[in-house]
Each structure stands twice: as C-alpha cells, then as structure tokens.
Amino acid sequence: MQQGPEIWIRGPVTVPEPGPRQPAPSTATARHYSWVGAHGGAGVSTLAAVYGGHDCGRAWPGPGDPRSVLLVARTHASGLAAALRTLEVFRLGEAPPGLDLDAVVLVADAPGRLPRPLDRQVRLVESLIDVYRVPWVSDWRLGDLGGTPPRETRALARLTRAATR
C-alpha cells in the first residue's frame, strides 16, 4: 500500500456544510477605479471625465467608492515629489485598509519634453509601480473633454474602459 506525505494540521478541522452550488460567473467582473490626486491641480477631475471612474479629488476613496486606486500627479517637480510621498504612504501600510494602488498616472504639466532632472524622477516612479503617462492636451485646458483620448494613452484607455463598460 502506497502512503502519501504526512500532513500536520493545527487547530480544529471542520467540514463545510453542503449548500446550494453557486453558478460560476460567465465573465470577469469589470474593475472600477478611484482617481486620487497626489496634490491639488493634478488633473483628477479631467481624467475621471475622460476615462471614467470615480473622482476622489485629493481624498482617499470612501466606503462606497472603488477600492482600486489610480494615483494622479503632474510631471513638475512638486507633483513628482507628491507622488513619491504617496507611494511611501502605501509602502509603509499607512493608506486606509483595503485600498489597492494599481498605478500612477502622470499628467504633463506643459507641452514638450521633460527636462532631464524631471525625467529622472519619472524613471524613479516607474521603477516602483506601473506608470501611465498623459501628454499635454490643449483642448482639455480649454474645457473640451470630448473626442478621442490621445493615442499615447491607449494603454490607460484600455485599462479604464474595462471599468466603464
């Protein structure tokens, strides 16, 4: 007779009561997001309007809000510093329980390329977590949030479209 490995169990072992079987869901549940600003003026309201999701402003999501967080910051020095401080809050476990930081969304603070020191800061953030970058959009500055999101944000659009449809 062949024997299996010994298994040691601590504590009482209970057998679950048989109950009605629940049908398996036929499709995956869409993930819903809360946009949270690392600082004022990060662009949370604009991103929530364009990509869908819950606009938390600078506050943590409340009890009824989606627990998956997209942290938003501008690409200027103080915005990137604020993003890094918020990442540290999550790393230290000081964020409210149950929140899941999915990614950082960096919104261009001006048209054109980033100066080298800011680009280094962006690479530091990218080494810590997934980052989605949103370019400067002049129409958004004027309040025109319609139309198609910039093609550079296709990955972000795919991520958030699953949450809105």
pLDDT per position as a tens digit, 28-39: 555 799 999 999
Tell me, what's the pLDDT at 107? 98
Cα separation, 113 vs 115, whole angstroms: 7
12 residue type, one letter: P
pTM metric for this prediction: 0.80
Give the tens place of pLDDT for each residue, 63-114.
Answer: 999 999 999 999 999 999 999 999 999 999 999 999 999 999 999 999 999 9
Encoding tokens for residue 1? 């007779």
Average pLDDT, the chain: 86
Q: Answer whether 91's CB lies under 8 Å from 112's CB.
A: no
Q: At what angle do helices 154-164 and 44-51 cross, to 10 degrees?
A: 70
Q: Which residue has the higher pLDDT, 139 or 9?
A: 139
